[in-house]
Amino acid sequence: MEFIACDGYAYGYRKLTHMLRQEHGLVINEKKVYRLCKELGILRPQRKIHPRHPRKLA
């Protein structure tokens, strides 16, 4: 929580997992980080994927 609050940069669960492994030496799974983020309510809203070319019939 301290790392997310002080930086102001958007962190997802994958970046948080990488940071926890590198800086704190924790052995932690991405799924566990996702669940913890979900419980704490710190997940970012997911982006909508827009199709580049609309599918049309000839």
State how far the alpha carbon of 56 is from the alpha carbons of 17, 20, 49, 51, 52, in Å. Answer: 41, 46, 18, 12, 12
- Global confidence as pTM: 0.65
Place of tokens 């827009």: 50
* Alpha helices (runs of H) in 1-58, residue ranges in sequence order: 2-7, 13-24, 30-40
* Residue 23 pLDDT class (50, 70, 90 cuts): confident
Q: What is the DSSP letter of 52?
A: S
Q: What is the DSSP letter of 41?
A: T
With a cut of 90, say whether residue 55 has pLDDT above it.
Answer: no
